[in-house]
Structure 1
Amino acid sequence: MERSGKLILVIAIFFMGNVFAQEEEEVITKEEAIALALERNYGIEIAENEVEIAENNQGILNSGYLPSVTGRAGANYDLNDRLTEPENGEALDQQGIESNSYNASVNLNYTLFDGLGRFYNYKSLKEQYDLSKLQARETIENTMLQLMTVYYEIARLTENVEVLEDVLETSKDRVTRAQYQFDYGQTNNLVVLNARVDVNNDSVNLLQTRQQLNNTKRDLNVLLDRQITAKDFTVDTTVNFIPKLQLEAFIMEAETNNVSLLQLDRNMAITAYDIKISKSGYLPTIDLSGSYGWNYNRSAATAFFPGSRQTTDGISGGVSLNWNLFDGGTTSVQVQNAKINYENQELRKKQVALGIRRDIANALGNYENRLYIYKVQEENVATNQDNFERSQEQFNLGRITSIEFRQAQVNLLDARTSLNLAKYDAKIAELELLQLTGQLLNIEL
């Protein structure tokens, strides 16, 4: 009686510990994971910093439209000994002659016209800013796809652990039943040993799957910049698929939303401005300059002139024109190369567009195939579940052997894990298709 009381106490403590652990376990939803990635992922932070740099570059302070203003100041001091010996007369010996001068000026320089090179360079910087935003978007898309791949892998392994726990529980019940049957002489010891072997195998499979689950959770922590040793968490295993009509609409608009094609459009615009910038070398430049200066000079007396102090100040200004009538053909070569580069950009866009059409067709085929497999696996699970329940009834009645029952159990295990794999494979294929159509960041994952 005392032994039974201790056993009940141990079971109660274990049960309460599991309850408290479950209460403290964190649940990370897909929305929370995405928000954390956008906030903490290093790759995304670097991409955002690149966008900030491009934004600074396309501002008025980097446009060349503002004048340059410089200030200058200087001072000179001389200390000399001087001996003056005239042809007729007494020599004059001067010791410690001091003279000094001071100057200060403010200078302004401004380019009134530079052949429109400055104008087109400013436009090009605007396009480069837009390009940097598209590059950041591509980084975010890749990170989101990587994030959701890891997230759904955690979900798949979580469901596999639940399946393996059910299998192990059934196998343990089978050992108990086989042991009772052996104790009452209804079966031989080989049945008990086979049941225990199956329990061991199921325990190993469960242990390995739990380890895979823990490793994948650490991968997610790295993507979210969380502590590797953070407390355990679970994820949302709900999977929703996009309606077919909506997906077809996304595919129809893929070439106007695909981030790779949009980047090529920006590159073509930048190259077009490069042509115009190069052509600006054919035109003259007109510069405006102005200054305000102040000078002060104090000179020592000489044998023939008394010392003096002189102060001057004033403003000056000027306009200059510079026209490079012939630069050895450098400008002409730059224009020709810029045109060839633009032609290459056009060819590259055609090439990439063709590849994207192929990738979308392949991704759509993979998605439809995996979605079909998922539906087939659902039917397969239902069939194997029914077969397992019937086999379990027959096994309990002693009408089938433990080997036949184990086969029904393994078939159900394979069907359920295959269903989990098919479900998440189909979802990942859908996300890959959404990335190609440029809609990955516009839908609820």
Structure 2
Amino acid sequence: MRTQFIHRQVSMPYPNPAERRTAQRRGFLSEKIKPSFKSLILYITILQVLLLTKPFQLLAQTPILEAYIKEGLQNNQALKQQRFLLEKNLYALREANTLFMPTVNFNTTYTSATGGRRINLPVGDLVNPVYQTLNQLTQSDRFPQISNVNEQLMPHDFYDARFRFAVPLVNAEIYYNKKIKQEQLTMQQAEINVYKRELVKDIKTAYFKFLQASEAVKIYQNALNLLKESQRINESLVKNGMATSTVLARSQSEISKIEAQIMEAQNNQQNAVAYLNFLLNKPLESQIQIDTTFNTIKTQIPENINAEMGNREELQKIKAGINANQQVLNLNKTFWIPKLGTAVDLGSQGFHWQFNDQTRYALLGISLDWNLFASGRNKLKIKQAEMDLNALNAQYEQVDNQLHLQVKTTVNNYRSALEIYQSTQFQVESAQKYFNDTFKRYKQGQASQIEYLDARNNLTSAQLQQSIALYNVWIKLAEVERVKAGYVLVE
């Protein structure tokens, strides 16, 4: 079966037939394109794979926000602490690798003693009669008389200095200790990624709250300008005898109220700036740039918003913990394997610090440690490790369910926030239209001050609600990105 895609002939200004044929050969003109059905299926399959393997990322990374995120990932103090712990685990793994290597130690002892037990050897009593007989037979003094020996057992002025070279030959603890350290390193790396994702979400949330507070200041400033404009109108009306002075007092009261609200909004803005700088590990008063890209948002829900969970590092951490406990279990099961090692001593020992061929020595030793009976302690250790492993597997299932629930509720919260924002758009349009009509009638003296103030309050309230709803959508979108592990972390 073949599928034809027939394109209309493109009409192009080639009056010269030779030019037209050249254009057709170069592909500028095409009358029929007939790709095979298999090629079409292959193209669609590749496109689907690319879409499915692309990391989930909802928020467009604008240069300003992305710069703050990179700065926070580099300078945040809590993240630095986790990096130090990661380096510690890396050094622990390197230490575990060195346990397979030989070790060289130097050890020396010196002994000086007096008193204590002594040993008497009657050497003279045993040998002197023989020597005396020999001297008589040879008629010489070639065999002198010797004294009995009275030697102190504790060595006096004695030293022993040696280098020991030791190598483990068979030791299951060293092997599984390395495996455990590797899993601990994986756990710490997953913990760092958890901190990174949480920090990215916190930075985005803090930035959107800063934009929200800045927009509130702007809205109140616009409301203040409108009140000042109405104040000038009221002064003109009072001057022309068309209104009493009470309207001026009411206008001034409204201006004071708005000014107080501006001060409160500016305070919220400063607090948002301070918190964002705290996350970035910068001076709290550092200036924050405003990105106008986030002043609007698409009201359509993205198609890739769903309740599917991404590759969460929380589960990776527990999985590494399960693997580590599995290695502990394997280690406990090797209790029957003996430990075998060898050592070579090269040294010198003697009295009065003598060093010669008689004092130097070499010693080779092989050690064997075999656990044959321990009253069932080894089997009990195995049972304990199995229970720890079962507990971690249960924890994995629980956390997996919790994360799926978190994704579902977060996505629902985002949908709800987007619907609220859509409703505020209509409210702002209606409030703006009502205010424009009322303000026009108010300038003409056809609307009362109460009507004007009510229209202005409704407009300000609607604009504030829209601003809050807008940045709340961005915040919820950042939370969705967090729970779906959508932000691409750079190591």
Please tell me the TM-score bracket, short chain as reference: 0.7 to 0.9
1:297-332 CA distance string (max 9 Å, x none): 3499xxxxxxx9874223221222221111122111
| Aligned residue in 2 for 1:270 | 324
- Please point out which of 66, 70, 78 is paired with 1:31: 66
Per the alignment, in what secondary structure is the counterpart of residue 234 of structure 1? coil
1:294 is the counterpart of 2:348: yes
> Helix, strand or coil for the counterpart of 2:284?
coil
Alignment equivalent of 2:166, drawn from 99, 109, 112: 109
Q: Which TM-score applies when normalising by structure 2?
A: 0.74
Matched residues, percent identical?
18
Please state whether the residue corresponding to 1:435 is helix, strand or coil. Answer: helix
Match of 2:387 among 309, 319, 340: 340
- Structure 2 CA distance for partners of 1:183 and 1:64, relative to 1, 3 Å: same
Higher strand share: 1
The amino acid across from 2:161 in the alignment is A
Contact 2:216–2:467 (8 Å) recurs in 1: yes
Tell me, yes or no, if structure 1 residue 235 matches structure 2 residue 282.
no
Question: Cα–Cα, structure 1 residues 372 and 104, in superposed 2: closer, same or farther, change >3 Å?
Answer: same
Aligned partner of 1:130: which letter? T
From 162, 167, 184, give the equivalent of 2:218: 162
The one-letter code sitting in structure 2 at the alignment partner of 1:411 is: N
Q: Note if contact 1:134-1:262 (Cα within 8 Å) is conserved in structure 2.
A: yes
Matches for 1:206-355 after TM superposition, within 5 Å: 206-230=262-286, 232-239=287-294, 244-248=302-306, 251-254=307-310, 257-298=311-352, 311-355=358-402
**What secondary structure does 1:245 align onto?**
coil
Work out the CA distance in 1 between the residues paired with 2:384 and 2:356: 61
Matched, 1:188 2:248: no
Greater radius of gyration (CA): 2
Are the counterparts in 1 of residues 309 and 403 from structure 2 also a CA contact under 8 Å?
Answer: no
What letter matches 1:234 in structure 2? Q
1:102–1:296 Cα contact (<8 Å) kept: yes
For the 8 Å contact 2:110–2:157, the answer to whether it is kept is yes
In structure 2, the gaps of 5 or more residues are 1-62, 116-123, 129-144, 148-155
Q: Which residue number corresponds to residue 11 of structure 2?
A: none
User: Secondary structure, in 3 states, of the residue corresponding to 2:450?
Assistant: helix
> Secondary structure of the equivalent of 2:446?
coil
5+ residue gaps in structure 1?
Answer: 1-27, 81-85, 92-98, 301-307
Separation (CA, whole Å) in 1 of partners of 2:241 and 2:208: 49
Question: 1:416 — aligned with what?
Answer: 463
Residue of structure 2 equivalent to 1:387: 434
Partner of 1:199: 255
Partner residue of 1:176? Answer: 232
Q: Which residue of 2 aligns with 1:42?
A: 77
- Residues 223 and 282 of structure 1, relative CA distance in 2, 3 Å threshold: same
- Matches of 2:276 and 2:374, distance apart in 1: 59
1:65 aligns with 2:65: no
Q: More deviation in 140-149 or 348-357?
A: 140-149
Task: Show the counterpart of 1:15.
Answer: none
Letter in 2 for 1:29: I
Q: Secondary structure at the match of 1:400?
A: coil
Between the aligned partners of 1:226 and 1:309, the Cα distance in structure 2 is 69
Letter in 2 for 1:238: T
Q: Distance in 1 between matches of 2:462 and 2:445?
A: 25
1:76-102 CA-to-partner distances (Å, cap 9, x unmatched) read 56899xxxxx9999x9xxxxxxx8444
| Displacement after TM superposition at 1:63 (Å) | 5.3
Q: Quote how far apart the aligned CAs of 1:198 are.
A: 0.9
After superposition, the Cα gap between the structure-2 partners of 1:243 and 1:107, relative to the gap in structure 1 and judged at 3 Å, is farther
CA distance in structure 1 between the aligned counterparts of 2:301 and 2:472, rounded to whole angstroms: 17
- Asked whether the 8 Å contact 1:75–1:100 carries over to 2, the reply is yes
**Change in 2 beyond 3 A, CA 1:339/1:224:** same
> Which shows bigger deviation, 102-111 or 152-161?
102-111
- Displacement of 1:62 in angstroms is 4.9
Give 2:74's aligned amino acid: E
- Inter-partner Cα distance in structure 1 for 2:203 and 2:288: 16
In the aligned structure 2, how far is the partner of 1:333 from the partner of 1:57? 28
8 Å contact from structure 1 (residues 282, 331) kept in 2: no
TM-score, structure 1 as length reference: 0.81
The 10-residue stretch of structure 1 (138-147 or 36-45) with the greater mean CA deviation from structure 2? 138-147
Q: Tell me how large the CA RMSD over aligned residues is.
A: 3.0
What is the CA distance between 1:342 and its match in structure 2?
A: 0.9
| Contact 2:278/2:284 (8 A) holds in 1 | yes
